[in-house]
């Protein structure tokens, strides 16, 4: 087998949620595989990731984009194309969480979660598709969740948003596979990131989770590097509408 299947040299990847956690690891992995990076981030003054990617010898640009502001989201992909003259890979890794019993769940929290996790993903996919369909190529990687399959507790908005991401991915895949555009999702299990700090620090809940994971430990952001490169590269050319779990065996149990 040729490792050229995983070579991303000459490709341009746009990534959200890249300043920390899984998104950061994915951005670095794509750069390590040869891609140039457009970092869609709210704070353009946070340049540490840009500098790290440039040290790998890749071009990297920060595209200012507050995912709470629809106008900025709508302009993000055109800005990427203006700076790089192309877009080949889109990774929607940004996501937020709010926890509350359903009867008390604030409408504002519902709106925030659905807006960031689902609507923004839709807009960026649509914008990327407008370039990828005419060029007859592209890779879109969305981030779903175990709660795309399960309902969870005290997280109605998150479960709804991630269920929506999975179905959106399938819908776009059905339309765009004929144009040689691969639209797939990565499904993280329980990963040691800032979003899960409260669970990790709750000794009882943490132990319940560990007991349920066949691998016996929380995942790490770097566990997504290989998965992301696979779905962004020619190695996945016949993979469409798939949900690839990186979960330590959680869903298989």
Please identify every residue annotated as catalytic. 158
* Residue 89 DSSP class: E
How many Å from the N-terminal Cα to the C-terminal Cα in the chain? 32
Q: What are phi and psi of 55, to 5 degrees?
A: -65, -20
Taking the CA atoms of 142, 97, 21 and 221 in sequence, report the sign of the dihedral they define.
negative
Judged by DSSP in three states, 139 sits in strand
> How far is Cα 129 from Cα 240, in angstroms, rounded to an integer?
15
According to DSSP, the β-strands at 138-143 and 181-188 are parallel
Pair 40, 15: CB distance under 8 Å: yes
Helix axes 120-135, 70-84, angle to 10 degrees: 30
> 73: which residues sit within 8 A by CB, 6+ positions away?
65, 67, 120, 123, 124
């Amino acid at each position: 087998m040729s490792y050229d299947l995983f070579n991303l040299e000459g490709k341009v990847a746009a990534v959200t949620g890249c300043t920390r956690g899984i998104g950061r690891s994915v951005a670095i992995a794509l750069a390590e595989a040869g891609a140039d990076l457009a970092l869609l981030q709210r704070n353009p003054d946070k340049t540490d990731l840009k500098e790290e990617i440039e040290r790998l010898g890749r071009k990297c640009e920060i595209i200012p984009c507050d995912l709470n502001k629809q106008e900025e989201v709508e302009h993000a992909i055109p800005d990427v194309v203006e700076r790089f003259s192309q877009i080949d890979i889109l990774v929607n890794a940004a996501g937020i969480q709010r926890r509350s019993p359903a009867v008390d769940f604030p409408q504002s929290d519902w709106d925030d979660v659905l807006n960031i996790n689902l609507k923004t993903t839709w807009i960026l996919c649509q914008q990327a598709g407008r370039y990828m369909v005419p060029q007859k190529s592209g890779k879109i990687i969305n981030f779903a969740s175990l709660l795309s399959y399960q309902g969870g507790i005290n997280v109605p908005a998150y479960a709804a948003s991630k269920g929506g991401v999975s179905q959106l991915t399938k819908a776009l895949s059905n339309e765009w596979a004929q144009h040689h555009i691969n639209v797939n999702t990565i499904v993280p299990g329980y990963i040691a990131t800032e979003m899960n700090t409260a669970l990790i620090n709750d000794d009882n809940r943490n132990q319940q989770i560990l007991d349920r994971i066949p691998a016996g430990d929380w995942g790490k952001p770097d566990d997504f590097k290989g998965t992301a490169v696979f779905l962004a590269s020619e190695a996945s050319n016949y993979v469409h509408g798939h949900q690839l779990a990186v979960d330590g065996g959680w869903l298989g149990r």
